[in-house]
Structures are given as structure tokens and as C-alpha cells.
Amino acid sequence: MRISYLGPAGTYSEIAALTYATSADVFVPQNTFPAAVHAVEQGNADVVMLPIENILEGSVTTTLDILVHDTLLMIRAELVVPINHQLLGKPGTNLDEVEILYGHPQSLGQCRHYIETYLPQVTTIASLSNSAAPAEALASPLRAVAIGTTRAAELTGAVVLVSDIQDRASNVTRFVVLAATDNAPTGDDKTSLCFGFDREDRAGQIVKPLQILAEAGINITKFESRPSKAVLGEYVFFVDINGHRLDPHITATLDQMRAHTGFLKIFGSYPRWHKN
């Protein structure tokens, strides 16, 4: 199996791919999330690993937008990866003299308290990945540090200046695996979907689809909204439910929901992740 992910090596996406993979799998790093998805669509990889939700920063909106607007790939698996951010730099770096901090935007947000408390004087610069950030810090002519992974430090030659600088020790990110098809029913599954409405805004229209799920006894494990990107004030609603889309009970309920929405898109059904 060829696994596409946001590279280069040393990112959390690579760590997730390594967690998901077998020893025989091949890794296909890409520069952006869309490029990682396109690698599967073009036949250059079999699955793509994408972060979809962080416990501190919430949903990864780029992934949500890709699922809604940009791909027909389906979710076939999910996994949760611990996120341990390290402050990386050159050996002997004096933190009081640091001028620049490189980091992926998600990582900068997840380390906000540490940055404000211990590096209030620095200018933060967004990097494309947690692996690119330490490489940029090492190459900078200024006194620079970066947020990255321990693996990124090993790969770039940076050293860990401060360990575990994330705002919460419980920091984790949920990843999803996209492929041409989703997973067959296992008896312990989750289905992810989105729905929206036509442009006629009616009072209470959001209630009916949720009421259909409630009356069918289907548990909603996630519900959120995101702008549709079509009209200001128009939203797409994201829902995770327990059960597989091919379960007769779920299939009938989703058909009912379609009759009361402008559109409904199923992202896929897959085994529910459980902490070991």
C-alpha cells in the first residue's frame, strides 16, 4: 500500500502514516493537503492521510473543505495520534535572544500559552509543515527556533531546546484515511457526512434532519457548521453518527434526511477508533 501524506518526513501526518502502516508500505510525501489527495486520485498512491480534528484547535478546515468540494474519495479509517510539540533550534540557543519562531499555523495555535509566556518578544512565521519549520530555523541568519517533532529534529539536525510545549498534555489529533472506497461494515462503525439546504432560509429547517436521526435512535457524535463558500451566510453542516451507511436502519434514515435537505454527501463509513 502506498500512503500519501503532508510531507516532508518528520510531520505529524507522517507519524500518523507510520502508525497506520505495515512494514511493507510505501510512503508518498506531498507539499500540500490537496496534492496529497490528488496523488490518490491520479493513481500515484492508494490512500491519503489527512488530519481532520485537533483537541485544542478544533477541526482542520482545509480537510473539511476538501471533503465537501474537492474529492470523491471516501473515509475508510480513522486514528488518533498524540501531539507532542518540541521547541527546536541550534545547539546552545539562548531563548532570551530568539527573534524568530517558525511553526505550522496549527502548531502555533496549540502552543499559544507557551509562546506568550516564554517567547513574547519573537516574531512568528508560518511554515508549511512541522518538518519544514526546524529546517527554516536552522537556515535563518537570525536567531531562530521552531516548533516541530522529535523526528523532525533527528532528520534536520536540530536539537530539542524545550520538550512538550503544547498548551495541554492531552493534545491529540484525529486523522482520517481516504481511499477510492470506504470500509465494509464491522459492527462497530462510524459514518461521516455533510448536508446543506437550498437558498431559501426557513425557520427551523436545521431541526428536521437532526430530529430524523434522534427519532431513529442514531447517536450523533459530532455536529458543526462551516461556510458553504457559495453565499455569505450559507452553511454546510458536518455530522458523525454511529453505524455504517450500509446498515439497513442507517440507509433508511439517511434517505429520509435527503428528502429534507438541499443536498447530503456521505464521506464514508469506517471502524470507530478506540483507545488501546
CA dist., res. 74 & res. 228, Å (int): 20
Q: Are residues 59 and 175 in the same domain?
A: yes
Q: Are residues 104 and 216 in the same domain?
A: no
Predicted local confidence at residue 210, as pLDDT: 94
Q: Which domain holds residue 122?
A: 86-162
CATH number of 16's domain? 3.40.190.10
Q: Are residues 199 and 262 in the same domain?
A: yes
Q: Are residues 148 and 259 in the same domain?
A: no
- What mean pLDDT, rounded, does the chain reach? 93
Whose grid coordinates read 496549527?
106
Whether residue 184 lies inside any domain: the answer is no
Q: Which contiguous run of DSSP H or E holds residue 271? A: strand 263-271
CATH number of 254's domain? 3.30.70.260
CA dist., res. 180 & res. 142, Å (int): 46
Q: Are residues 63 and 114 in the same domain?
A: no
What are 18-23's contacts with CB under 8 Å, separation 24+? Answer: 19/79, 19/81, 20/49, 20/77, 20/79, 20/175, 20/177
- Quick check: 233 pLDDT over 80? no
Name the region of 16 (left: φ>0; alpha: ψ -120 to 50; beta: rest). Answer: alpha
Amino acid at 274: H
Q: Are residues 156 and 175 in the same domain?
A: no
> Which pLDDT tens digit goes with each residue over 168-189?
888 899 999 999 999 999 999 9
Predicted local confidence at residue 73, as pLDDT: 98
> Which pLDDT tens digit goes with each residue over 25-36?
899 999 899 999
CA dist., res. 38 & res. 144, Å (int): 34
Q: Are residues 114 and 251 in the same domain?
A: no
Q: Are residues 124 and 72 in the same domain?
A: no
> Which pLDDT tens digit goes with each residue over 52-95?
998 888 899 999 999 999 999 999 999 999 989 999 999 999 99
> Which pLDDT tens digit goes with each residue over 114-145?
999 999 989 999 998 888 999 999 999 999 99
Predicted local confidence at residue 235, as pLDDT: 87
pTM: predicted TM-score of the whole model, two decimal places? 0.84
Find the radius of gyration of the CA atoms of the chain: 21
